[in-house]
Structure 1
């Protein structure tokens, strides 16, 4: 029996056996990828405040379909009270065919201090890649949808009523690989309704530090045409995060 194990060990270590597994072998790319990023800030001394933002994205992409989910969270507080608390969920299913894809999408927002504390949008439609090569991608989408809004309570309107309407949603999703380890992404989305219109721009710059770790700078601005009394039409969020990618 010892001779059997010795012979097996010699066979496994032989050049013929090693040739079966090349030194530069890599696992085939997975259809499932995910990203987790977070940023935290703590100020002490004359100014005492804490802020946190996190983002998780999961994508399942095959030849026939693409499933994508995104979760975002924002929180900020000073030494007296919470000043910001917002959560977002985005879900999209796309079914590919010859020259484009059909999609169904859901966007849900809970914003304690926003002009609208609850926003839910369900939409669907058609999308296609206007540009698709190794360094640049531009996807365009259009389709109808339905939006529900709940305005924030004010001194003059303690119990505001929700409103809902049919909308037309259009979106442009741009991705540019600047260098081997850097990329720029920009998403522009508009929602046009009879009672209200919104325009959202989401831009981020990502620089890979090593392996699956990256530093990411993000800027999000949303314009809402009709807002409750005392609210601002434009909201902006700037983030500086560390990002880890699972593949």
Structure 2
């Protein structure tokens, strides 16, 4: 009986034993999604701690890169809602590929940023921009992308006693951005986006920074800080808003 079993095992082709090699990895995917949620601490125009969530979708091919990010910030005390904010960011990039070496890592983009904030200095903020970007640094551990281009911004100030029916602030702007990613170790990384929108009527500067530590497989713990400075704000509002988050994030692709 033993001889029969041995003969059968030896007759099986070696390829059958190598269907899933020990070091097998899934092939890279063009689609990546991140979903996260957790605790939020607000300082600035709102003082509270509560829930936040974020979803990011990226479809990256050889010629195009499509990105979409949705953020939700919500908190309430025993009596009422104290913070409610929704952010939507969309960007479509066309990668340049030609004989000019200085354009090899460049891309042309169109972008839209939309915010609804019940308790912010501006309850509605919409920015549409186009421009050019390129990878100043791009290797296995570090990536730095720079962007610049013109745009249009629409701001609706919050109602105040001095201005119960405020007029919307409409402005032509120049948008610049620096997007930095760095792999600190095998399971940790640092990301920082710095964006400036300069207009004739108003200007803003936003820093969105986070530290991510992979716990196991596709799960990670993420600490984030978002700081936004607005040069001109309605009476009674603060120029700087800061949001600190502690989230559990799941990534799939």
Tell me the residue number matched to 1:177.
Answer: 183
Determine the C-alpha separation between the residues in 2 that align with 1:21 and 1:195. Answer: 61
Of residues 189, 192, 195 in structure 2, which corresponds to 1:189? 195
The answer to whether the 8 Å contact 1:12/1:18 transfers is no
Determine the C-alpha separation between the residues in 1 that align with 2:22 and 2:211. Answer: 34
Q: Secondary structure at the match of 1:229?
A: coil
Using CA pairs below 8 Å that are at least 6 residues apart, which structure has the higher relative contact order? Answer: 2
Tell me the residue number matched to 2:93.
Answer: 94
User: In the TM superposition, what whole-angstrom CA distance separates every residue of 1:178-237 from its partner, at most 9, and x where no partner exists?
Assistant: 000000000000000000000000110000000000000000000000000000000000
Deviation for aligned residue 1:23: 3.4
Q: Secondary structure at the match of 1:17?
A: helix
The answer to whether the 8 Å contact 1:11/1:17 transfers is no
Where does 1:1-247 land on structure 2 (aligned, <5 Å)? 14-40=13-39, 51-98=50-97, 99=103, 100-247=106-253
Deviation for aligned residue 1:54: 0.2
The answer to whether the 8 Å contact 1:57/1:68 transfers is yes
Structure 1 stretches lacking a partner, 5+ long: 1-8, 42-48
Deviation for aligned residue 1:157: 1.2
Structure 2 stretches lacking a partner, 5+ long: 1-7, 41-47, 98-102
Q: 1:13 to 1:215 in 2, by over 3 A?
A: farther
Q: Secondary structure at the match of 1:122?
A: strand
Determine the C-alpha separation between the residues in 1 that align with 2:145 and 2:49. Answer: 37
Q: 1:12 to 1:172 in 2, by over 3 A?
A: farther
CA RMSD of aligned residues (A): 1.7
The answer to whether the 8 Å contact 2:222/2:249 transfers is yes
Residues matched between the structures, number: 232
Deviation for aligned residue 1:10: 7.2
The answer to whether the 8 Å contact 1:139/1:174 transfers is yes
Deviation for aligned residue 1:88: 0.1
The answer to whether the 8 Å contact 1:223/1:235 transfers is yes
Deviation beyond 4 Å, 4+ runs, structure 1: 9-14
Determine the C-alpha separation between the residues in 1 that align with 2:126 and 2:136. Answer: 28
TM-score (norm 2): 0.88
Determine the C-alpha separation between the residues in 2 that align with 1:74 and 1:89. Answer: 12
